[in-house]
Amino acid sequence: MAQINPSRIADTILAAPGWARLGITESKPHLRTDAAHELARVIVEAIKAGDVGAPAAEQPALPL
């Protein structure tokens, strides 16, 4: 199992769906709550799968 550290968790958060990352800044409490739950779900799934930091398959890479 991969070691969990702040850097790997940050990578997992960045790999989460964009709406969830943006949603935690919403002014409406129910949208913030939904977004926070989605981020938590992504982190828990990554920990269970042992691939903390791996981008989700449905998350396309953006050219920089």
How far apart, in whole angstroms, are the C-alpha atoms of residue 4 and residue 17?
A: 20
Phi-psi region of 53 (alpha: psi -120 to 50; beta: other; left: phi over 0): left
Res 32: pLDDT: 94
How far apart, in whole angstroms, are the C-alpha atoms of residue 52 and residue 60?
A: 17
Res 24: pLDDT: 93
Which residue has better confidence, 15 or 51? 15
Res 48: pLDDT: 84
pTM beyond 0.85, yes or no: no
pLDDT digits (tens, 9 = 90+) for 34-50: 999 999 999 888 888 87
Res 46: pLDDT: 84
